A and B are shown apart, each in its own frame.
Chain A
Amino acid sequence: MNSSKEIDMSNAVIKAHNISKKYDDSYALDGIDLQVMQGQIMGLIGPNGAGKSTFLQSVLGLLKTEGTLEVLGLDPRKDRHKLLKEVCSITDVAVLPKWMTVIQLLNYMDGVHPGFSIEKCIDILSRTNIKLPSKIKVLSRGMVVQLHLSIVMAIDAKVLILDEPTLGLDLVYRKDFYSQLIEDYYEGNKTILISTHQVEEIEGVLSDAVFMNQGRIVMQDSIESINRKYLELRPDQNSVDAAQSLNPMHHRTELGREVMLFEDVDKDKLMELGDVRPPVIADLFMAIMETTKVGGQS
């Protein structure tokens, strides 16, 4: 949905260089180098323990890391509260204060956040089942996420950080969340950084993908480039050997049929051997994990 042509590549919103974070004897982040440009919708994809949340928390200035990190030209750790006027986040679905009513929370946001529009938020909420006098503790998990997203959408921020925003929600709420995010929130100049396990649900939303494992980035590319570079072939039965001779980077069996993943191989050549399509991100991720032999589960 976003082509990299629309992205202003001269304008890095997040610049991370050699970011590391050590807990006891293990690295949660191990030398992360990443630049996020204005307008990108970047997905951080990786198994548990990959370092996604740790990285996002460091971008929000919530934890100390080694290395150089700049967000909108500011040091997130030193200028956290200045930065958070321009960066908003949903880092966990269960953190809105349960004792508050919805309207109390909106009034509080109106008081402390210069970029928050209470009128806009009330307008967004009027399209949901969330009532302003309701206590947050009586809302369902899905409604709390909806409320959190409505608050975030009513903030005129440059960067949005979403860390597993739909974790624990049912399918309907998950679909609603992303469609609302893209249709009502996203504008070309906003940057969104999303981490999730449910890769298939954000795939159509992303402009870029970053694969992480064991605190490292194992691959980073735009979706457009991934679709150009990687192709998945389901070879005809009599073309399997011919396909193997083209050195697939990964192969698996799906319902008794060989599925091969190729990198930088001529599409026309592959089309002669069977069905060709761009790989889904989850499959590409699994393949990259296995080829880089760093292990992990998805």
Chain B
Amino acid sequence: MIRVLKAMIVREIQEHKVAFVYAPFFVCIILCFVIASVYFGGTNIQTDQFNFSTEYYDEEIRQTMQSVSSVSRIDIVRTGLLVLGFPILLTVGFGLLAYSLSTFADERKDRSLIFWRSLPVSDLTTVLSKVFVVTLIVPLMVLPYIILLQLVAMTSASIFFATNDIVSFGWLWGSYIITDWFRIIFSLWAQALWSLPLFLWLMLAGTFAARPIAGAIVPPVILIVLEGVIFKTNLVLEFIENRIGFWSRSDSFPKEYQELRVVDITDILLLFSTQAFWVGILASVILVAGIVYFRSSNSDHAID
């Protein structure tokens, strides 16, 4: 079973290497280049909400940085690195959405479904291999890019701070917690589980709809409208909005979680204790059953 799953997961990665390997790598390299050009080339990146430049490092900032407590320093470094990783996570998130929508639609389109189904692999195993890819494998694959980006950012900033006499080279490194790598991966796994119903819904649309994008969008829109008209509620819309967002910022969590912060492992335990999480898991189980049903029915059309 492990051997079969391994072969299937490798196949998924090979087929979708652009979404899972090349795109996040490309974004990571671009970000590394941007960071290096800001710290070493004097480039300024400024928007209404975002300021990434070396221009504001004056004497006041220098003194503030030197006097900040180690706890606050860790928080600052963590938050900075968290924001830094967002573009990679967003890229992979879009990649996962595209993957979910196309993975079963493409095999119907190019008729390779007939070949895959001629092999001794059950439909359930096939669906579960894709669930593993979404929930476990892709988050693991994205971690090295995030770590690389963090290391590049930490090194560049440390060199800049040290060479400009702002703070010592070790100021940042002393606040870099390597065990945060585990927090990141657990948080990503939790996010994938939290958003799993959305990914599975897209996969389901790929198994039954002639136009998967329309198949993915139209039924929820109809449900949302009907719910609004008949019951005057918007539970479906809230469910979708919640699952698109970060799990720690959903309605099920206390208000302090709404702020931008790095989650703790214990927060994940809190997630597992929420009703919303288990509602999502139940919805996922139902959706997996639906995908298996439609996929097994898809070759039921031969006439000769």
Q: Which A residues contact B (CB, under 8 angstroms)?
A: 23, 28, 48-54, 57, 60, 62-64, 80-85, 88-89, 91-92, 94-100, 104, 107-114, 164, 195
Given contacts A92-B114, A95-B112, A98-B110, contact A62 B300 (CB under 8 A): yes
Given contacts A92-B111, A97-B112, A99-B15, contact A82 B302 (CB under 8 A): no
User: Given that A23-B303, A53-B302, A112-B120 are contacting pairs, would A95 and B114 also be in contact in the complex, using a CB cutoff of 8 Å?
Assistant: yes
Give the chain A neighbours of B15 by CB distance below 8 A. Answer: 97, 99-100
The answer to whether B304 touches A54, judged by C-beta atoms less than 8 angstroms apart, is yes
Interface bits B202-225 vs A (CB < 8 Å: 1, else 0)? 000000000000000000000000
Inter-chain CA distance A52–B302, complex, in Å, is 10
| Complex alpha-carbon distance, A110 and B7, angstroms | 8
Complex interface: chain B residues within 8 A of A112 (CB)? 4, 7-8, 119-121
Shortest B85–chain A CB gap in Å is 30
Given contacts A63-B302, A100-B14, A112-B8, contact A85 B120 (CB under 8 A): yes
B10 within 8 A of A: yes
Are B10 and A111 neighbours in the complex by a CB distance under 8 Å?
yes
A-B contact pairs, 7 of them (CB 8 A): A48-B304, A49-B304, A91-B114, A97-B112, A108-B7, A109-B119, A112-B8
Residues of chain B within 8 A of A85, CB atoms compared: 120
Query: A50 to chain B: which residues have CB within 8 Å?
Result: 304
Residues of B within 8 A of A81 (CB): 120-122, 125
**A84 neighbours in B (Cβ, 8 Å):** 118-120
B266–chain A nearest beta-carbon distance, Å: 38
Nearest 7 A/B pairs, CB to CB: A111-B7, A53-B304, A84-B120, A63-B300, A95-B115, A97-B112, A81-B122
Nearest chain A CB to B177 CB, angstrom units = 38
Output the nearest chain B residue to A26 by Cβ-Cβ distance: B303
- Smallest beta-carbon distance A106→chain B, Å: 11
Report which residue of B3, B118, B125 has the largest number of chain A beta carbons within 10 angstroms of its beta carbon.
B118
A57-B119 contact in complex given A95-B112, A98-B110, A104-B14, C-beta closer than 8 Å: no
Check if A97 sits within 8 Å of B4, measured CB to CB.
no
A200 to B219: give the CA distance in the assembly, Å.
Answer: 52
* B302 interface neighbour in A48, A62, A80, Cβ under 8 Å: A62
Interface residues on B, range: 20 to 34
B residues 88-125 touching A (CB-CB < 8 Å): 107, 110-122, 125
Q: Which residues B237-280 have CB closer than 8 A to chain A?
A: none
Contact A54 B118 (CB under 8 A): no
**Chain A residue with the shortest CB-CB distance to B116:** A97
Q: A23 contacts which chain B residues (CB < 8 A)?
A: 303
Contact B110 A114 (CB under 8 A): no
B79 within 8 A of A: no
CB-based nearest A residue for B5: A111
**Known contacts A95-B114, A113-B119; 8 further A-B pairs (Cβ under 8 A):** A84-B119, A89-B118, A91-B114, A98-B112, A108-B11, A110-B7, A112-B120, A164-B304
A109 to B115 Cα, complex, angstroms: 11
Query: Are A57 and B110 CB-contacts (below 8 A) given A62-B117, A88-B118, A113-B120?
Result: no
Which residue of the partner chain A has the closest CB to B9? A111
B164 at the interface (CB under 8 A from A): no
Q: Which residues of A contact B300 (CB under 8 A)?
A: 62-64
Q: How far is the CA of A104 from the CA of B10 in the complex (A)?
A: 9
A164 to B304, CA, bound (A): 11
Contact status A82-B304, CB under 8 Å: no
B118 contacts A91, CB within 8 Å?
Answer: yes
- Contact at B120–A82, with CB atoms within 8 Å? yes
Tell me if B299 is interfacial: C-beta within 8 Å of chain A: yes
Question: What residue of chain A has the Cβ atom nearest to residue B8's Cβ?
Answer: A112
CB distance from A25 to the nearest CB of B (A): 13
Distance of A81 Cα from B11 Cα, bound (Å): 19
| B residues in contact with A51, CB < 8 Å | 304
B-side contacts of A104, CB under 8 Å: 11, 14
CB <8 Å contact, B6 and A80: no
- Least Cβ–Cβ distance between B135 and chain A, in angstroms: 21
Bound Cα distance A50, B303 (Å): 9
Complex Cα spacing A57 to B10, Å: 28
The complex places the Cα of A64 from the Cα of B293 at a distance, in Å, of 13
Min Cβ gap A6→B in Å is 28
Compute how far the CA of A35 lies from the CA of B258 in the bound complex, rounded to whole angstroms.
67
| Closest Cβ–Cβ distance, residue B18 to chain A (whole Å) | 11
In chain B, residues 174-203, which have Cβ atoms closer than 8 Å to a Cβ of chain A? none
Q: Which of B3, B113, B116 is within 8 Å of A111, CB to CB? A: B3
A111-B6 CB under 8 A given contacts A96-B115, A100-B14: yes
The reply to whether A95 and B111 contact each other, CB–CB distance below 8 Å, is yes
The chain B residue sitting closest to A63, CB to CB, is B300
Q: How far is the CB of A50 from chain B (nearest CB, A)?
A: 7
CA distance A195 to B114 in the complex (A): 17
